[in-house]
Chain A
Amino acid sequence: MNRTSLIKAILLFAIIAVAFYMALYPRLNYPYPLHVDEWMHLGYTNQILNTGHLNYPHPFHGGQWEVGGHPETGYYLWFGTSLLATGSTWLVLSRLMPALVLGLIAFLAYAWGRKRGFGLEAAFFATFIHTTIRFLGPAFLVPVTLGLVFFPMCLILLEKMEKDWRPLPLIVISLVALFLTHGTTAVAVGFVLVIFLVFYLALSKNPIRRMLPSLTCLLLIPFSGLVIFLWNRAFVLREIQNIINAEKIPLPAIPIPLLQLGYIMIALAVIGFGFMIARGGWRNYALLVPTIILLFFVQFYRQWFNIGPDILYERGWLYVMLLMAFIAGYGLSQLRQLGLVFFKRWRWGALSVYIALALVVVFALFLRMDGYAKEEYYHVVDESTYHDFKWMGEELPQDSIVLLNPYVGWAYVPISGQYVYSAQAYPWGVEQAKEINGFFRAGAPDTEYIREKNVNILYSPYPLKNPDLVEVRDGVYILREGN
């Protein structure tokens, strides 16, 4: 191992350590999953492992209806397999996995960018991808986070395919797996790949014989999406309906989240844009064009075009941030090369350039952490609520159905293993949440209401005064036998 390789290895491992820290930063002082979606996905994963099949009773409501062909099944199988192979609890793995996945994204970004001289820089800025409770991100263990891995991975395979047929089936099965994991990301990855292939086919000077794998890939990419149509036709048709008749998003518009990345990274991305245009070449254009299109799409489509589906708008920022990380990495690497050439006659020139770049990196990291610190994350459950749910799972009959605030319902099921009457994520189910909360506030006087809902356990934030209920723990009431 020569000196340069040693330094690169040190920097790479340091970047991976940064990735671990970034992914775990929002939960440094909190042991449980943060976002309601994380809890929801835990519920689905557990249900698949409990039933052993991909058609199963609803994970939160039980036998009221059956789930089949879930569009994020791939993610559940991946996480479920990790649980089985390690024998660990979901509590351990749901904390560990976001760090490992962001570390992997950074490593893949390095592997992709290093041949073009910006591997370390791309890896570093890939760790900057932001996480919010609105559009999610790498700090949450959710399907879209796993999907981000596929961007650099497919780009590596695509590059390899310039000379070779062998990556072609790997790209196709990757897209198939991604469509089963997170369809929106699969569409975005497919879109980026198509643009790369179009630029390659149009601008590369390779003979036509060597372009055949890429041409075949271009034709096969749309067909890889067929898998999700075969898997869940109703879901695809519903999403197509959403595209045609965009429904109003029930949430407020997202303010531009790029500022959270810090001004330095944004400036470097702008510089990278400039260098890419100046240097030209199909590889540069192929990275620039999808980034610009996606950026305009997520920022302006709602106001200008009003086309759906909403999920692309919600998650699209993550794809933009990842692509911008590559471009910012390219910008930083170009500055480095320019600086080394410019100061090469000066004795301390190279050292000065590296010190200046190190300062840029440190300040970029500082600004990024500042952006992270300003972000607010909610906690679905606190420690005492977690212990309440755990106790209920251990002590109350397994076939219990619990009436509780629907907004903690998604956390209740994975912790207790029991079903709930209702589980919702804000802003959906507001009326139902109000109704249930009002019932609790009134002291749950109507036993008939409880019976109608087929529940036998209540978890109330208010004291209940119904003589048909036994308070067996703070806030935990069970319906008296015989009532």
Chain B
Amino acid sequence: MDLLVMVVASLVVVPLAVFWGGSPVSLVLGLIFALFSPGYALVAAVFPKRHDLDIVRRLALSFGLSIVVVPLIGVVLNYTLWGIGLYSVLIALLIFIIAASAVAYYRRRRLPPEERFEPRFRLRLSQFWGGHHLLDKALLVLLVVVIIGAIGLLVYVARPPEVGEAFTEFYLLGPEGRAADYPDVLSLGEEATVTLGVINHEQVATDYYIRIFIEGKAVAEVATSTLAGEEEWEQKVSFTPLGVGEEQKVEFWLYKGNENTPYHVLGLWVDVLGN
């Protein structure tokens, strides 16, 4: 039964990882698949008898030997046509788990039933609840609380914390919204277009406005709407050089709220040719 459950759970992991990778279910089952199942199957195959190992050592070795099996499978895959990829790794691990489970099943079947290892998780709660001392009941409740607490603690501390760093992302893209094709050489009077972006990480709603300067002279201004925390703003803006000259500096000054000093300054250089 234990082997069957493990094989079925392992079979579920492959589609989960492929189609729903990153979901909490995929995370939990994937970790069991990679960090427990190969070792469990191996231990079951090598030690099929009940008295070969107690349950604690069996579980401990299952985790430990998974760390042994997984890299060795990866090394073997490296020398195959399939290499080390999503499908090859998952399928190779799956084959290992199924093969080791089959060996374990075969070896267990050859033993008298009373000698076979068979995990027993029969917890008859009603019987336990009715027939035990109050202290034992309290301890059982405490055990459940501690287990839930341990898992809760893991989830709580493992989640990425909010750092609370206050900053704003300000960036400049080309006219097509890619970091390419920035205005480089222009004719006098020709309008140039770039894309400006702002992302608010200030932890509070913030107003921004941007001034565009060419050679120190303001030529355009654009304001964002009020951006809520983590809100993004992106817009195409245009400017026209005022005179002919090489290496004219075009600057984009980002201001926050009503402040008079720029928060960020970005810049590019253009050569402006006469008509």
Contact = CB atoms under 8 A, between A and B. Distances in A.
B28 to A, nearest CB: 8
A73 interface: yes
A171 to B, nearest CB: 10
Given A104-B64, A382-B165, A14 B34 contact: no
Given A16-B150, A480-B269, A474 B170 contact: yes
Contacts of A16: 150
A149 B147 CA distance: 22
A153 B199 CA distance: 49
Given A20-B157, A85-B13, A100-B31, A467 B84 contact: no
Contacts of B267: 470-471
B84 A77 contact: yes
Interface residues of B, number: 87
Interface in A368-410: 382-384, 387-388, 391, 395-397
Contacts of B26: 86-88
A473 B264 CA distance: 9
Interface stretch (B65-73, B215-223, B235-243): B65-73
B27 A174 contact: no
Interface string B130-163: 0001011001101100110110011001101101
A473 B84 contact: no
A74 interface: yes
A108 B74 contact: no
B158 A81 contact: no
Interface in B188-213: 199, 201
B84 A472 contact: no
Given A153-B61, A383-B163, A470 B268 contact: yes
Contacts of B27: 86-88, 92
Contacts, number: 268
B173 A87 contact: no
Q: Interface size bucket, A side?
A: 35 or more
Given A54-B84, A85-B31, A86-B31, A157 B61 contact: yes
A52 interface: yes
A87 B142 contact: no
A29 to B, nearest CB: 5
Interface in B21-45: 21-23, 26-27, 30-31, 33-35, 42
Given A80-B74, A473-B169, A107 B60 contact: yes
B131 to A, nearest CB: 13
B75 interface: yes
B1 interface: no
A52 B143 CA distance: 44
A6 B138 CA distance: 10
B247 A467 contact: yes
Interface in A93-115: 95-96, 99-100, 103-104, 107-108, 110-112, 114
Interface string A134-162: 00000000000010011011001100100
Given A96-B158, A156-B60, A383-B165, A85 B68 contact: no
Nearest to A153: B64
A384 B165 contact: yes
A202 interface: no
A86 B34 contact: yes
B150 A48 contact: no
A224 to B, nearest CB: 12
Interface of A: 1, 3, 6-7, 9-10, 13-14, 16-17, 20-21, 24, 28-31, 48-49, 52-54, 73-75, 77-78, 80-82, 84-89, 91-92, 95-96, 99-100, 103-104, 107-108, 110-112, 114, 146, 149-150, 152-153, 156-157, 160, 166-167, 170, 173-174, 176-178, 180-181, 382-384, 387-388, 391, 395-397, 467-468, 470-474, 476, 478, 480-482
Given A20-B150, A152-B60, A474-B266, 13 more contacts: A1-B123, A9-B143, A24-B157, A86-B17, A87-B26, A95-B160, A111-B59, A111-B61, A114-B56, A166-B46, A177-B72, A180-B75, A482-B184
28 contacts: A73-B71, A77-B73, A78-B71, A81-B73, A81-B93, A84-B89, A85-B33, A85-B90, A86-B22, A86-B30, A88-B30, A100-B154, A104-B64, A107-B63, A110-B56, A111-B59, A149-B63, A152-B64, A153-B64, A177-B69, A177-B71, A382-B163, A391-B171, A395-B178, A467-B247, A470-B268, A474-B266, A481-B181
